[in-house]
Structure 1
Amino acid sequence: MLPSFANHVLCEMMALDGNERRRITPDKSPTHSVVLRPSRQFNVRDNSPANRHSFHGMTSPLTSPTSRERPEQLKRYSQQLHYPASYTDLPPYCGNLSIAKQRQAQVDRPADGGNRHTNMRGSMWNTVNARTSPGSDLQEARPPPVVKKRGLPRDERPRLKTLVRVGSLNVGTLTGKTREIADFMKRRRIHVLCLQETRWKGSKAREIGDGIKLFYHGLEAKRNGVAIAVSGPLKEHVSSVNRVSDRIISLRIATKDGFWTVVSVYAPQCGCTEADKEAFYEELDDVIRSAPEGDYVTVAGDFNGHVGQDRQGFERVHGGIGFGRRNQEGERIIELAEAHDLAIASTFFIKRESQKITYCSGGRQSEIDHILVRRQFLKTVKDVKTIPGEEIAGQHRPVVADVCIALPKQTKAVREPRIRWWKLTGETQKTFREKIAAVGLPDPCGLIDPVWASAASTILTCARDTLGETKGGRRGDRATWFWNEDVQKMVKAKKDAYKAWQKTKSLSMLAEYKLKKKEAKAAVARAKNAAMDELYDKLESSQAEKHVFRLAKARRRASLDVTEVRAVKNEDGEVLRDAVAVKERWRAYFEQLLNEEFSRKERNSAEPVAGPIQPWTVDEVRMAMKKMKAGKASGPDGIPVEAWRSLGELGVRWLTMFFNNITRSEKIPEAWKDSIIVPIFKRKGDAMNCANYRGIKLIAHTMKIYERLLDMRLRDMVEIASDQFGFLPERSTIDAIFIARQVMEKYREKNKPCHLAFLDLEKAYDRLPRAVLWEVMRERGIPECMVRTVQVMYDGSTARVRTSHGITSKFDITVGVHQGSALSPFLFIMTLDTVVKHLLEGPPFTLLYADDVALIADSRAELQLKIQKWQSALADAGLKLNLRKTEIMSSSGGDDVVLDANGTAFTQTEQFQYLGSILSADGTVDAAVRGRIACAWLKWREATGILCDRRCSRVLKGKIYRTVVRPAMMYGSECWPVTKAHERMLNTAEMRMLRWACGLTRRDKVCNEDIRTIMQTAKTACTEVAVVWTRYEKITTTPYPAGLGDGSYRKAPQRRTEKTMEGHRMQGYERAWSHQG
């Protein structure tokens, strides 16, 4: 208890009244003492131990020269301070407590030059205008009042904010240093590291080891470039990334209390023009201004400016503890800080000179790397310093800041173990089939639910015994297998040589450092190649294609900025972070989306058609299973179609009898009615907005087989009009695009205006009323028993949503057709074909591809009348036009608007992307060619992880290019009236891709034909694509317009698709004849 009283005494000695600001001024006179004023403030007149304290003119009992006087003095002092007298008996050693408190280290304590409060955790400063540090949480040391509830029992355990370390470093170049940066961040416990002068081209994200993810951006190689590296605990909470320029990049991290905006900057250096500097600071102003008011903002980077020590006039943002003298660029930094109320954090902390210098070159030292935070959060900054001795960048040193931020609670991702179905091949498949035959499947003619439950249990049990299961949980880091002990020793030797050279500055040590650096780089390259040998051996095997696409997909996923979003916004725009709240928001969003129905008119019910369904045959079931693609995600039951295929005839015959049992009983298993919705981000808009996600529904594969049986029967019963090109045999998007281009060419040829309307239906699949669907099926003459079979599949259907926090609870779905179902496309086009059959004019004036509708008219008035009729017919069936996405295009231009039935004007455009091909109002294909080249580059960037890998063979790269990149470039080229200029554009883009894949440039003087031979890739030619299309005789069977009535021909000859096709066909035939000869 006695030392406790001493602490109380010290507390009263060092407490300051916050309402009255006093200075602690030094005095050289040795006779002045510390006087405790009535407000319990003190002035340091002398720092000598003998004359340390005096209380109201009375000698302090702690420093009294006679220990015998202490009890009486302590008693009087305790009465003045209202302490119990029983605490006045102090041992002799307590007199030195106050002296010990004053001798605490001052190196890492901040000093901003303002009024400083002292507390029990800090030392008593002998500094001009001293006050408490920005990070102090004990500004008043006296016991708090009861109303603050401090010291009282709490309902929950109080959690302290986590100390997060953010840093900045100019690396000079990232090439060959990513693993060292990861190791540096791990050793120094850095959570976020801003990097400058990366000299990397591109805008991607990648894993660099130890769970650290790097977000980088650069426009030109070997110049500028910025990046931000985020450690494992925080990378999953990155909500957005903003790449402004090759000098500015920012990202937003979700925290427990809000969001943390981190900006990495690389300011123009001295050699840059004033225009470049002004542009940089204007962009940085926009980035900081765009950060929400409540965000914790940190701007870190290489500012290339000295802020100096002078703080006059800038006391709020400058702490006065800088290095060197301020220059013109430093004035810009302070102006930026003043404009946005940012504090230059390093100037508020007293440090040694070695912990201040961030740049050292040619004997010159300076502080040009800074960390800025919002002034209101300055108290959360606990420390800022430079770390000397790190050999990552030759001239720059890393600067780090410890800030107090409440990080979100780390929750382990819930990943259930999965059966390794991909191993179901060869001998394993035979073993699985034998186990199923030994155990035996249940009798398929019994009760539906017990039979299916028993069959599913048997299949899953045998699969687990044969194939095994994954462990679940988070996948390990596979990107740094090469970081073994030998490599680490070489890198450590390099760092030791660097430190020795920095100490001696001798030429011999510099040569030793360069040698060690070269050896370390070679060791990293050898270890990396050895670790990847097994992978590349797989890529050269017979199953290389499967491994290649899997690897390309994994590398593309790793390059995405945001892989999952753990926080979403509610309907009011408020951010939800709690796991329960996030799951409930996803469930409520999809429940509302999938159960909302537009108003409609009642349709006249058709008479039901009597007649039984013919039993399903083995051949039909075998054909339905054949149409199912392998490797797709399974439904909630976890049984993929590969399980039934591996059973051979046993599985086909069992399913045939089971499906016939379902049809007779008009009941499906209850397990089939459940589905899982997976939200897929559209890669545009706010990632925390649920409306920017597309829900993909995972349904049981066995149910999909049954749906395909119904689909084949329905297609034989119902005939769809020729206006529809979607989900029908021998019809595709190319047919619809070809007809649209032909119409525009014919109108242009006769100098007549062409008006087109591209209609978009709002949530067409999700809003289709099921009552309308049943009525349409009866109108089309489908037997009532089949109608009831489809009804059974939709009645009582439920769904759950898979989120980053787990799977939500179930909710009912009462509107629309199933997304991801094999039967839904035909049900939708059949319904649409029925409700608008009186409006279909046939090609070319009406073109439909599922819910994409194109209308063509001679005038705007005629087009407006057509749109209004379609809008009325769709509204009667419970469907609605999306006015925001419906657009109008006219070859004649003009300002006349087209209105809907309610008087709302539609958007007019000069170009429209119709089914993936850009149509221009002037009828040219220039925009279409450029658009396809841009799409090819997007595919190229997705596959650069393989195409630019030096270890992959060029033959394999050529195969990937032909199957992934080239189809994207040549899509729709069958109906282009191309010119020589268009073909040159396509060939130029393709040769750039092929040369990069080969690792060659034009300086290597390798001709294009040799590169095509190496890559086994023929020359890009629209002639070959057109010949392939015409071999199916689609041109002669597709109903395109032969003429459009009267009109005057244009004077100049025009390039026409028809003539292009004829020329392509003849060239193709001539090439074939010459090849045969």
Structure 2
Amino acid sequence: MKRSAAVAMLQMHHVLCEMMALDGNERRRITPDKSPTHSVVLRPSRQFNVRDNSPANRHSFHGMTSPLTSPTSRERPEQLKRYSQQLHYPASYTDLPPYCGNLSIAKQRQAQVDRPADGGNRHTNMRGSMWNTVNARTSPGSDLQEARPPPVVKKRGLPRDERPRLKTLVRVGSLNVGTLTGKTREIADFMKRRRIHVLCLQETRWKGSKAREIGDGIKLFYHGLEAKRNGVAIAVSGPLKEHVSSVNRVSDRIISLRIATKDGFWTVVSVYAPQCGCTEADKEAFYEELDDVIRSAPEGDYVTVAGDFNGHVGQDRQGFERVHGGIGFGRRNQEGERIIELAEAHDLAIASTFFIKRESQKITYCSGGRQSEIDHILVRRQFLKTVKDVKTIPGEEIAGQHRPVVADVCIALPKQTKAVREPRIRWWKLTGETQKTFREKIAAVGLPDPCGLIDPVWASAASTILTCARDTLGETKGGRRGDRATWFWNEDVQKMVKAKKDAYKAWQKTKSLSMLAEYKLKKKEAKAAVARAKNAAMDELYDKLESSQAEKHVFRLAKARRRASLDVTEVRAVKNEDGEVLRDAVAVKERWRAYFEQLLNEEFSRKERNSAEPVAGPIQPWTVDEVRMAMKKMKAGKASGPDGIPVEAWRSLGELGVRWLTMFFNNITRSEKIPEAWKDSIIVPIFKRKGDAMNCANYRGIKLIAHTMKIYERLLDMRLRDMVEIASDQFGFLPERSTIDAIFIARQVMEKYREKNKPCHLAFLDLEKAYDRLPRAVLWEVMRERGIPECMVRTVQVMYDGSTARVRTSHGITSKFDITVGVHQGSALSPFLFIMTLDTVVKHLLEGPPFTLLYADDVALIADSRAELQLKIQKWQSALADAGLKLNLRKTEIMSSSGGDDVVLDANGTAFTQTEQFQYLGSILSADGTVDAAVRGRIACAWLKWREATGILCDRRCSRVLKGKIYRTVVRPAMMYGSECWPVTKAHERMLNTAEMRMLRWACGLTRRDKVCNEDIRTIMQTAKTACTEVAVVWTRYEKITTTPYPAGLGDGSYRKAPQRRTEKTMEGHRMQGYERAWSHQG
């Protein structure tokens, strides 16, 4: 016994010495003659034979040379065979050495019948247990398989020393679902159960291009052109969906998305190749599109192409060793040749061919007794080492014929951090008895004396209001509500679905008709249970929406559903100025801060203006009526500023709040100081829905300021409007003037030029960052020039001196930075300050409404010739530059009714862009004077609003009355905007009516086959037919009719021989009916 132990120890010593002779860092490859398609990397095994100690079978390592240590071992297969025979390997598996890892073990298991009956020469570990290969995993190393030691299997089959790799493993899968209808919840459950992060889906048969939450935090990005065929989608789990930076919907067979990772980006492409029966042209077009998509992926991206390729790649790898591992299923066909050609062209590896799996884990399609592998996952060859496993999962019954295929890859994901959002007071509950309770608490505690020091008084008042509000209304936990899309997925439903899956597995195992019948029964019961639970959950929701006070809930639901359908809702990584991606929270916050600090503090060069003499005189005290009127003009439900006190808080206090604010505002005016808390603001970046989502320049900053300060600004605004008169050229932010007036005049002038057969030349000027670039020194000088008292000027100055801002990001709020240029965004006073400054700077260039039209910073100039128009533009450019403003040459455009190639130049010789159509104030103006483009543009805008509201309008459970209200409130105003100015024809009215009826029928769920006439549809939706002429008449009733001859001075011209007789259909006919014709003097 002791001798046997000693011999065993000696053998162990010899084996260890032999293993040490092999450098583990320089693993050598051996390609046996028997299997030229398999390559094996050898490394020392921790397991060796210590069982057979007989002299006949005892290994004599002394004097025996291992061919493995020879540099020419590839050229000596006979030496390898002799060496393995010396180690007493059976002849059936002598082509590999004893420590070749799991590949040799698999061969031993296949040759189990060739082993001796007494079990001699079995290789066991030191504990005497057999090597277990049930959960063995092999990973590709370069173009071969790296043999592993028999693992101590725990969790997902990973060896003990490689368990930390679990933290970086990401599972990507592919599945042809046949149809997504009724399966979204099961897809979410499947991804959660199988720990799949990204799942590529094919043959979804869903029409549209949206994103959708399907449960468990999983977001589905889908695209389809028809509801009965094709369609692709990609489902992304919760930890990754917030890191999706872009989605590219190529066709109903290809969709891709880009996900930000810790070290770069991951491009995932879901494909559905044309199946048998499709034409060669369709197949060629598919692979051309796929070729463009793969080529467009940046060089450093981790690219994964997964889907149903409908092709067999087979087992033969000859000539394609770099992209084909030689471990496939079946024989290659013509479509498989296309797949390999695609892989060769883009250096992609067919990952499943590099892993040894049993047949059930290779087959992806099974139907009618036929089995094949047509679903594949391709990765870039340089990242093949990161793929740790690829297999098919049998037993899942989501799809009838296809089986899901999954791959485990090592990708470093970004650190999961929740978006930082502060708790908010539930101000929306401030109604009825709650409002009364809040008022009583404020009255019991009492507000401080408003005539004391400004900062202590405001701090005490704000603290009192917020404390009472928290006690009365409560606070949110911060952040948005969780997933509410799967209320119906209760415990009973889950049990029924699980029973259906168990029945499916039992049927797959036995293939008996009785089990098939059982499965069909369970499937039917599960489907009915899901329907019942969903109906019960939705009934409660829609009962709430049908209540009399449900308007807020309806729009909130529509907004939530629209947000869920957006591809990118929040971006946590941004790019710096050099295009490098920043992911660290501190770096991201600093980038946002630096971007807005530079944007809001850049000032253009200008000339010094002559300072006007200040006007002396006090400001009359603010009255209670003025404060009440200012509060009335404030809209409810708006986001509050940094102090968190909305205007609703002051309104709920009634007269107590009005009188306290009146005294506090008078105290501010006397002391010429505002609370320091009012000088702070929060900027919220809003994505423009175009361009790169990680580029800060593609965001529009919305500034949130204190609502109490906005009330004070409205008081100043009312006083300033009484002091300053704005020219008639300006139509923006003035009473009894609107965009419709400016559009009407522009169209009428263009029509008069056409009637006199004269060319009309228009220039649409765009000021670069007008509100943000306005120098404040120019603003103070303009206020003095317009005769505003110096005390009023100092009051406005106090509101701007020392103003700061912070940026709200997904990682929290940044630190403060100063703002020294421009007027406040989101301020009630800023619009009037700007139009007053612009009116003063260019007052010597204003020619009256026919030839100069202004709406805030949108300027339209009209001239008889290009030379005159060019001179006007250069004069405007010079006047604006003197005041520190600048034209945006890229967005400034020229339009001429006469056409021609002559260009219009600015003062520096730069040519402006010429166009045939221009969208002026939301309405398209055409060079030929027609309104065809305007009508089509408004219909397109209406469909855009329709798509945003489809969460309600296309919901069959919502009542038609509610849908009609949503349509009249949201969709119809977008379609009819600017129609007051259209000289429409019957063809235009038919276009509008057709689009409207299509929307209404869609909302009702009725088609023309239902034989329901249009009048009945309008009755059901409570939506009357509106003609453009009726809209125009209604508009003129509320307009101030003027006899000023706006289009005067057009010059001599000849009328066309046969002008169109359509006066009755034009705005002129309605507007001038019963009044003196505005252009009668022009003969």
TM-score, shorter chain, exceeding 0.5: yes
Cα pair 2:139 2:389 within 8 Å, conserved: no
1:686 Cα deviation (Å)? 0.7
From the superposition, tell whether residues 450 and 128 of structure 1 become closer, same or farther in structure 2 (CA, over 3 Å): closer
1:1020 Cα deviation (Å)? 3.4
1:493 Cα deviation (Å)? 2.5
Measure the CA separation in 2 of the matches of 1:150 and 1:367: 24
Measure the CA separation in 1 of the matches of 2:909 and 2:544: 62
1:1037 Cα deviation (Å)? 6.2
1:116 Cα deviation (Å)? 23
Measure the CA separation in 2 of the matches of 1:725 and 1:1016: 35
Measure the CA separation in 1 of the matches of 2:552 and 2:1082: 35
From the superposition, tell whether residues 128 and 405 of structure 1 become closer, same or farther in structure 2 (CA, over 3 Å): closer
Cα pair 2:208 2:224 within 8 Å, conserved: yes
SS in 2 for 1:482: coil
Cα pair 1:306 1:368 within 8 Å, conserved: yes
Measure the CA separation in 1 of the matches of 2:130 and 2:769: 69
Moved more, 839-848 or 97-106: 97-106
Cα pair 2:28 2:42 within 8 Å, conserved: no
From the superposition, tell whether residues 488 and 819 of structure 1 become closer, same or farther in structure 2 (CA, over 3 Å): same
SS in 1 for 2:310: coil
Measure the CA separation in 2 of the matches of 1:22 and 1:111: 34
Measure the CA separation in 1 of the matches of 2:391 and 2:344: 22
From the superposition, tell whether residues 370 and 90 of structure 1 become closer, same or farther in structure 2 (CA, over 3 Å): closer
In structure 2, what is the equivalent of residue 445 of structure 1?
451
Measure the CA separation in 2 of the matches of 1:747 and 1:107: 99
1:45 Cα deviation (Å)? 20
Moved more, 533-542 or 309-318: 533-542
1:560 Cα deviation (Å)? 0.8
Cα pair 1:755 1:857 within 8 Å, conserved: yes
1:149 Cα deviation (Å)? 30
Cα pair 1:711 1:823 within 8 Å, conserved: yes
Q: 1:241 aligns with which of 228, 231, 247?
A: 247
Cα pair 2:93 2:107 within 8 Å, conserved: no
From the superposition, tell whether residues 43 and 250 of structure 1 become closer, same or farther in structure 2 (CA, over 3 Å): farther
In structure 1, what is the equivalent of residue 3 of structure 2?
none
Moved more, 142-151 or 573-582: 142-151
Is there any run of 5+ residues in structure 1 with no aligned partner, and where? none
Cα pair 1:697 1:820 within 8 Å, conserved: yes
Measure the CA separation in 2 of the matches of 1:687 and 1:735: 37
1:90 Cα deviation (Å)? 27
1:414 Cα deviation (Å)? 1.6
From the superposition, tell whether residues 107 and 892 of structure 1 become closer, same or farther in structure 2 (CA, over 3 Å): farther
1:1044 Cα deviation (Å)? 2.5
Cα pair 1:674 1:799 within 8 Å, conserved: yes
1:105 Cα deviation (Å)? 14
From the superposition, tell whether residues 132 and 223 of structure 1 become closer, same or farther in structure 2 (CA, over 3 Å): closer
From the superposition, tell whether residues 361 and 661 of structure 1 become closer, same or farther in structure 2 (CA, over 3 Å): same
From the superposition, tell whether residues 106 and 343 of structure 1 become closer, same or farther in structure 2 (CA, over 3 Å): farther
What is the root-mean-square deviation in Å for CA atoms of aligned residues? Answer: 7.8
Moved more, 124-133 or 18-27: 124-133
Cα pair 2:102 2:147 within 8 Å, conserved: no
1:413 Cα deviation (Å)? 2.0
1:590 Cα deviation (Å)? 0.4
Sequence identity percentage: 99
From the superposition, tell whether residues 154 and 208 of structure 1 become closer, same or farther in structure 2 (CA, over 3 Å): closer
Moved more, 299-308 or 147-156: 147-156
Cα pair 1:344 1:372 within 8 Å, conserved: yes
Residue by residue, what CA displacement relative to the aligned partner does 1:940-980 show, whole Å, maximum 9, x if unpaired? 00000000111111001000000000000000000001111
Residue by residue, what CA displacement relative to the aligned partner does 1:182-223 show, whole Å, maximum 9, x if unpaired? 000000000000011111111111110001001111111111
In structure 2, what is the equivalent of residue 288 of structure 1?
294
From the superposition, tell whether residues 86 and 975 of structure 1 become closer, same or farther in structure 2 (CA, over 3 Å): closer
Moved more, 192-201 or 485-494: 485-494
Cα pair 1:34 1:54 within 8 Å, conserved: no
1:479 Cα deviation (Å)? 1.2
1:317 Cα deviation (Å)? 0.4
1:543 Cα deviation (Å)? 1.0
1:237 Cα deviation (Å)? 0.7
From the superposition, tell whether residues 894 and 95 of structure 1 become closer, same or farther in structure 2 (CA, over 3 Å): closer
From the superposition, tell whether residues 222 and 34 of structure 1 become closer, same or farther in structure 2 (CA, over 3 Å): closer
From the superposition, tell whether residues 65 and 365 of structure 1 become closer, same or farther in structure 2 (CA, over 3 Å): closer
Measure the CA separation in 1 of the matches of 2:274 and 2:94: 65
From the superposition, tell whether residues 51 and 308 of structure 1 become closer, same or farther in structure 2 (CA, over 3 Å): farther
1:1024 Cα deviation (Å)? 2.2
Cα pair 2:30 2:74 within 8 Å, conserved: no
Measure the CA separation in 2 of the matches of 1:307 and 1:708: 73
Measure the CA separation in 1 of the matches of 2:478 and 2:468: 19
1:1030 Cα deviation (Å)? 1.1
Measure the CA separation in 1 of the matches of 2:127 and 2:257: 35
1:150 Cα deviation (Å)? 26
Cα pair 1:745 1:1056 within 8 Å, conserved: no
Measure the CA separation in 2 of the matches of 1:238 and 1:729: 45
Residue by residue, what CA displacement relative to the aligned partner does 1:716-752 show, whole Å, maximum 9, x if unpaired? 0000001101000011111111111111111111111
Measure the CA separation in 1 of the matches of 2:245 and 2:116: 33
Moved more, 577-586 or 520-529: 520-529
1:1055 Cα deviation (Å)? 6.4
Moved more, 102-111 or 67-76: 67-76
From the superposition, tell whether residues 107 and 76 of structure 1 become closer, same or farther in structure 2 (CA, over 3 Å): closer
- 1:189 pairs with 2:195: yes
1:475 Cα deviation (Å)? 3.0
1:759 Cα deviation (Å)? 0.5
Measure the CA separation in 2 of the matches of 1:884 and 1:113: 84
1:58 Cα deviation (Å)? 3.8
Moved more, 110-119 or 271-280: 110-119
From the superposition, tell whether residues 728 and 149 of structure 1 become closer, same or farther in structure 2 (CA, over 3 Å): same
1:488 Cα deviation (Å)? 1.3
Moved more, 504-513 or 721-730: 504-513
Measure the CA separation in 1 of the matches of 2:778 and 2:180: 61
Moved more, 522-531 or 10-19: 10-19
SS in 2 for 1:115: coil
1:334 Cα deviation (Å)? 0.6
Cα pair 1:171 1:195 within 8 Å, conserved: yes
Measure the CA separation in 2 of the matches of 1:982 and 1:29: 75
1:485 Cα deviation (Å)? 1.5
Cα pair 1:755 1:859 within 8 Å, conserved: yes
1:362-441 alignment, distance < 5 Å = 362-441=368-447
Cα pair 1:63 1:95 within 8 Å, conserved: no
Measure the CA separation in 1 of the matches of 2:16 and 2:164: 27
From the superposition, tell whether residues 110 and 256 of structure 1 become closer, same or farther in structure 2 (CA, over 3 Å): farther
1:153 Cα deviation (Å)? 24
1:28 Cα deviation (Å)? 10
Moved more, 1046-1055 or 134-143: 134-143
From the superposition, tell whether residues 546 and 80 of structure 1 become closer, same or farther in structure 2 (CA, over 3 Å): same
From the superposition, tell whether residues 125 and 440 of structure 1 become closer, same or farther in structure 2 (CA, over 3 Å): closer
From the superposition, tell whether residues 317 and 601 of structure 1 become closer, same or farther in structure 2 (CA, over 3 Å): same
Residue by residue, what CA displacement relative to the aligned partner does 1:832-875 show, whole Å, maximum 9, x if unpaired? 00000000001110000100100111111111000000000000
Is there any run of 5+ residues in structure 2 with no aligned partner, and where? 1-6
Moved more, 1038-1047 or 275-284: 1038-1047
SS in 2 for 1:159: helix
Residue by residue, what CA displacement relative to the aligned partner does 1:169-191 show, whole Å, maximum 9, x if unpaired? 11111111000000000000000
Measure the CA separation in 2 of the matches of 1:455 and 1:338: 72
Measure the CA separation in 2 of the matches of 1:835 and 1:113: 102
Residue by residue, what CA displacement relative to the aligned partner does 1:37-61 show, whole Å, maximum 9, x if unpaired? 9999999999999869664634999
Moved more, 59-68 or 36-45: 59-68
Aligned length in residues: 1077
From the superposition, tell whether residues 922 and 63 of structure 1 become closer, same or farther in structure 2 (CA, over 3 Å): closer
From the superposition, tell whether residues 857 and 106 of structure 1 become closer, same or farther in structure 2 (CA, over 3 Å): farther
In structure 1, what is the equivalent of residue 544 of structure 2?
538
1:1019 Cα deviation (Å)? 1.2
Moved more, 73-82 or 346-355: 73-82
Residue by residue, what CA displacement relative to the aligned partner does 1:775-818 show, whole Å, maximum 9, x if unpaired? 00000000000000000000000000001111000000000001
Measure the CA separation in 1 of the matches of 2:152 and 2:872: 76
1:75 Cα deviation (Å)? 27
Moved more, 145-154 or 713-722: 145-154
Cα pair 2:980 2:1031 within 8 Å, conserved: yes
Measure the CA separation in 1 of the matches of 2:89 and 2:313: 49
1:649 Cα deviation (Å)? 0.1
1:487 Cα deviation (Å)? 1.1
Measure the CA separation in 2 of the matches of 1:433 and 1:700: 21
Measure the CA separation in 2 of the matches of 1:175 and 1:149: 34
Measure the CA separation in 2 of the matches of 1:147 and 1:171: 33
1:80 Cα deviation (Å)? 20
- 1:77 pairs with 2:83: yes
Residue by residue, what CA displacement relative to the aligned partner does 1:540-569 show, whole Å, maximum 9, x if unpaired? 111121111111111111111111111111
Residue by residue, what CA displacement relative to the aligned partner does 1:21-40 show, whole Å, maximum 9, x if unpaired? 86546699999999999999
Measure the CA separation in 1 of the matches of 2:69 and 2:87: 18
1:143 Cα deviation (Å)? 17
Moved more, 286-295 or 426-435: 286-295
